[in-house]
Structure 1
Amino acid sequence: MKTEKVAEHIIKWLKDYAENAKVKGFVVGVSGGIDSALTSTLCAKTGFPTLCVEMPIHQAESQVTRAQEHISQLKERFDNVSDVRVNLTSTFEDFINVVPETESSTKVDLSLANTRARLRMTTLYYLAGINGYLVAGTGNKVEDFGVGFYTKYGDGGVDLSPIADLMKSEVYELAAYLKVPNSIQVAQPTDGLFGDSRTDEDQIGASYDELEWAMKMQDEGKTENDFSERELEVFKIYTRLNRINQHKMIPIPVCEIPTNFK
């Protein structure tokens, strides 16, 4: 990858989009992960005001520390960067206390994980609305168009997606070039939605390098018959997630009414 060219291209794309949309800047949810660190850095380099938002909900201390380190570094490097911390823990707890109880703990855990992401999306749009900013998405290509590893109308609810055509490995390459803190570059990827130490790989069952490989294999028309052992296992994981998460990747279905019914 021509890293410098890619960085320049994304920065120009962001600037052009903001100018054409006649908005004042960008808002980015910063989690302490590599994707949000890269996205916020790219937004900062446009020269437009960039608001970095921390939104902890029972967050692990390591994630909070990395997020704060990154934001501090950005503010030192760029005069156009500001930050705000919105602690959503009490809001999340209030939500838990008012929704109906259910016996299915597995479904509750997943629904509440997605609720965290949707509370954060609502917060970002509130801040974007009062400032005249755009919400910049932080999803990469493998997550957004490969396995659908994001929350619909949560971290998937954004105005524009500057890094969604980058594989995870390319995100790391670009992050290193743009001097994202090393603590973030070496940290295990995690969505931080369950309030424990599970990583993305723990949840998915495969690493991002493996998922990138599987995505490439599917694009080349390969099938399960072409693989064995670990490669077959990874390919099955990828194709299953790609299939069941298509509802996140395709436009919302619209029931079209025949003209002779109107």
Structure 2
Amino acid sequence: MEVNIYLTLFYYHNVKDIYVDKIQVIREFLKEKIGEKHAVLGISSGIDSSLVLTLLATSIDRNKIKAIFMPDKYTKQDDYEDIKKLSDSTGLDIITINIENVFESYRALLNTSDKKLEGNIRSRIRANILYYHANLLGGLVIGTTNRTEYLLGYYTKYGDGACDIEPIEDVFKTDVWKIASILKVPQSIIDKKPSAGLWENQYDEDELKMDYHEIDKILSDIFDNHTLNGKYEKLMELYLKSMHKRELPKAMN
């Protein structure tokens, strides 16, 4: 029994060391790529953007971080409260710009009622706001797409997928949670059910019809271990269908 306890502790510390090393690699990446420029980041109160802001806060000049929360009518009270907790935990100001009026102008112009199309419009409105501030400051927009989302194309093209730097693009969603825990991201954010918040009661795992632990295991098998297990056909279909999101626009040579 004592041996098992020591083995468990040994395993825990070694696994934690892996994530600590990863944190340092990401911090060095951010320092190198951002340099003396401003970093502009959209904050949703979700785990990915909260982790990226926490990493930025300990990587570059804090006076050069512009964090922007862009709520709309689907934003819940819990999200506002988590933004306050995140601001307190990072010691950074997070400004709020409500996008609902802008979206309503788009909806009136386009006469749309499709929730997925509307969700993409909301995402692209937020990208426009981020790039306005990046242009204003001569800075860079920092992305928040994790490896799971990247491989599945689970983001809006030219929306939340629009950025200059992707610091967690090689980190699976389940690892995002682990790193966030190590860095003391507010627990209510870590525990929150993943959602892009693009329409009412929209949740990632409901849309994907699989939980992230299962998804990450299968994706790791496919892309790291080169084996096919579980519901790989469904995930490969999403990967292939979203290939255009991971490629540059086609051009004549």
TM-score, length-scaled by structure 1? 0.84
1:184 aligns with 2:194: no
CA contact (8 A) 1:52 1:71 kept: no
Of the three residues 47, 57, 64, the one matched with 2:72 is 57
Q: For the residues of structure 2 that align with 1:84 and 1:93, how far apart are their CA atoms?
A: 21
Of the three residues 204, 207, 225, the one matched with 2:208 is 204
Q: For the residues of structure 1 that align with 2:165 and 2:240, how far apart are their CA atoms?
A: 24
Of the three residues 138, 141, 165, the one matched with 2:144 is 138
**Structure 2 residue aligned with 1:38:** 51
Of the three residues 244, 249, 253, the one matched with 1:252 is 249
**Structure 2 residue aligned with 1:152:** 157
How far did residue 188 of structure 1 move?
0.7
TM-score, length-scaled by structure 2? 0.87
How far did residue 133 of structure 1 move?
2.1
How far did residue 74 of structure 1 move?
1.4
Q: For the residues of structure 2 that align with 1:55 and 1:193, how far apart are their CA atoms?
A: 12
Q: For the residues of structure 1 that align with 2:22 and 2:169, how far apart are their CA atoms?
A: 13
1:109 aligns with 2:125: no
1:120 aligns with 2:126: yes
1:72 aligns with 2:72: no
Q: For the residues of structure 1 that align with 2:167 and 2:227, how far apart are their CA atoms?
A: 29
Q: For the residues of structure 2 that align with 1:64 and 1:164, how far apart are their CA atoms?
A: 26
Written as runs of structure 1 = structure 2, the 5 A alignment for 1:17-36 is 17-19=33-35, 22-23=36-37, 25-36=38-49
**Structure 1 residue aligned with 2:100:** 89
What code does the residue aligned with 1:51 have? Answer: K
Written as runs of structure 1 = structure 2, the 5 A alignment for 1:1-16 is 1=15, 2-16=18-32
Superposition RMSD in Å: 1.6
How far did residue 252 of structure 1 move?
1.6
How far did residue 37 of structure 1 move?
0.4
Q: For the residues of structure 2 that align with 1:94 and 1:72, how far apart are their CA atoms?
A: 34
Unaligned runs of 5+ in 1: 76-80, 257-262
In the TM superposition, structure 1's runs of 4+ consecutive aligned residues that sit over 3 Å from their partners are: 220-223
CA contact (8 A) 1:34 1:171 kept: yes
How far did residue 67 of structure 1 move?
2.3
How far did residue 109 of structure 1 move?
1.5
CA contact (8 A) 1:205 1:237 kept: no
Give CA-to-partner distance per residue, 1:30-88, whole Å, 9 cap, x none: 1111100000111111232212110012112222322232123212xxxxx33211111
CA contact (8 A) 2:19 2:179 kept: yes
Q: For the residues of structure 2 that align with 1:116 and 1:100, how far apart are their CA atoms?
A: 15
Give CA-to-partner distance per residue, 1:88-124, whole Å, 9 cap, x none: 11111111111145xxx5xx21111000110000001
Distance 1:221 1:18, change over 3 A: closer
**Structure 2 residue aligned with 1:163:** 168
Q: SS of the counterpart of 2:244?
A: helix
What code does the residue aligned with 1:211 have? Answer: I
**Structure 2 residue aligned with 1:260:** none
Written as runs of structure 1 = structure 2, the 5 A alignment for 1:231-250 is 231=230, 234-250=231-247
**Structure 2 residue aligned with 1:98:** 109
Q: For the residues of structure 2 that align with 1:84 and 1:51, how far apart are their CA atoms?
A: 8
How far did residue 217 of structure 1 move?
2.7
